[in-house]
Structure 1
Amino acid sequence: MSTALLPAVEITTAAHPTHAVIWLHGLGADGHDFEPVVDELDPSVLPPTRFVFPHAPVRPVTINGGYRMRAWYDLVTSDFSRRREDPAGVHESAQQLTALIAHENERGIADERIVLAGFSQGGAVALHTALRHPRRLAGVLALSTYLPLPDTLAAEAAPANKDLPIFMAHGHGDTVIPYDFAERSARLLQDAGYPLAWHPYFTEHSLCLEEIRDVEAWLAQVLGG
């Protein structure tokens, strides 16, 4: 893995941010994809916050015929009854996300004031990383996604984040990641004792306005706005 920090788009809600949200995009997108969400949030309910939107590396993706695109890991099959994600890619992206957390630490923002967030593939990496991170985080925002490598979680889960607040949302009409598949991930985490809040919406593989309002309220809660 490259030791270079991933390039990222950064937006701050106020001068001298005291908190951070590191938000990972989905397959084939880039860090600009969720920039507009910040404009939809009410900065008055949040502490001064830096939103960091990193760009995933470009890599070949098997289910897309090996076409090279921005991806957090390779998807080796479209069959949801089998393991779809490449473990090496998940681990590499988790290390890159951990490096971004360390970069925020260097800028004066402690782990407990950092939320990991992501959509689709990005949400999978955010979940994977947050549950294994050795120091307490503020929370994890997992949108239109699922838990990757679930069979390794019990052995790798970090005690510091066993009570980590998790906001997990999914659209009933999602044809990219089926609703039932994502819901199974949510139930697995709830059965493991994580305080996960499950938010279903009547939308497809995207965010809706109701969801953005709920995200805003949750961020205000976990960041102490």
Structure 2
Amino acid sequence: MKKSILAIILCFLSYQIFAQTSLQKDLSLSYLVSQPKPKTVKPKVIILLHGYGSNEADLFELKNVLPDNFIIVSARAPFTIAPNAFQWYGNENVNGVKKESAKDLKTSTDLIKAFIKEIVKKYNADASQVYLAGFSQGAMMSYQVGLTAPELLRGIAPLSGRIFDSLKPEIKSAAAFKNFKIFIGHGTADDRVPYASATQAVSFLKGKNINATLHSYQSLPHSISEQELKDLVDWLNEK
């Protein structure tokens, strides 16, 4: 039996939707992308970085709540730890102390910086309106990239993360952050990355005359809440 015209059209549309959200592998990092609605010249961009053991599909669901005038990109971390599970960095023992791998952090930081430039070029995006947001390990990476290369971004949104001591000497001077925004979101009941990591980050950044805003969420564990997302959207929409 021949397919009806309607069935053919539906199949074509389904293929188009799948193609638009399938994993892209043409840049420094693999990623998923959602185009702005409606499409605009020089759109804004937000790049999402997932947490440990997750993948690009995790935070990509936020496209349903993030501003629809943004290109929304969700990147996959470069290190595989299991099928469909990735990490931005592993750990190593230094003088008997377990800490983040400096080699992995450098690799991921360099890849993300290259990826930002590639995304802007490929999608003809507004280079002055690129944001980096991450959860957990992804939050740590947003600090790593944003605080060492603020010229690539309009702002960062680390959610449930912390600033590594190894990063602090590498942070640019306050003058480099003149038009830079930082949204720090953290739950007070986080048992994986303690809430104190957020208050310490704000205190440290303000001590360097770098503006950062802390958004605290009472009784929230190591996760992202609806209110946090609402606050993030408001922050992205600020001029």
1:135-155 superposed Cα distances (whole Å, 9 cap, x missing partner): 25211011000112x344344
Query: Which of residues 193, 217, 224 is equivalent to 2:234?
Result: 217
Normalised TM-score (structure 2): 0.77
Higher relative contact order (CA 8 A, sep 6+): 1
Query: Which of residues 211, 214, 234 is equivalent to 1:198?
Result: 214
Q: Contact between 1:133 and 1:161, CA under 8 Å: does it hold in 2?
A: no
Query: Which of residues 11, 18, 28 is equivalent to 2:53?
Result: 28
Q: Unmatched 5+ residue regions in structure 1?
A: 62-66
Query: Which of residues 136, 140, 160 is equivalent to 1:120?
Result: 136
Q: Aligned partner of 2:223: which letter? A: S
Q: Contact between 2:190 and 2:222, CA under 8 Å: does it hold in 1?
A: yes
Q: Contact between 2:45 and 2:126, CA under 8 Å: does it hold in 1?
A: no
Pairwise CA distance, 1:112? 1.6
**Aligned equivalents of 1:68, 1:13: Cα separation in 2:** 27
2:91 equivalent to 1:70:
no
Query: Which of residues 31, 34, 39 is equivalent to 1:8?
Result: 31
* Secondary structure at 1:132 match in 2: coil
**Aligned equivalents of 2:197, 2:70: Cα separation in 1:** 33
Q: Aligned partner of 2:155: which letter? A: G
CA RMSD of superposed structures (Å): 2.5
Compare 209-218 and 184-193 and name the one that shifted more: 184-193
Q: What is the 5 A alignment of 1:123-138?
A: 123-133=139-149, 135=151, 137-138=153-154
1:14-66 superposed Cα distances (whole Å, 9 cap, x missing partner): 224611111100000001111222212353xxxx21111011123459xxxxx
Q: 1:210 to 1:133 in 2, by over 3 A?
A: same
Pairwise CA distance, 1:162? 5.4
* Secondary structure at 1:141 match in 2: strand
Number of residue pairs matched by the alignment? 206
Q: Contact between 1:137 and 1:161, CA under 8 Å: does it hold in 2?
A: no
Q: Where does residue 86 of structure 1 map in the other structure?
A: 101
Q: Percent identity?
A: 24
Pairwise CA distance, 1:188? 1.0
**Aligned equivalents of 1:214, 1:162: Cα separation in 2:** 22
1:202-221 superposed Cα distances (whole Å, 9 cap, x missing partner): 21111111111100100111
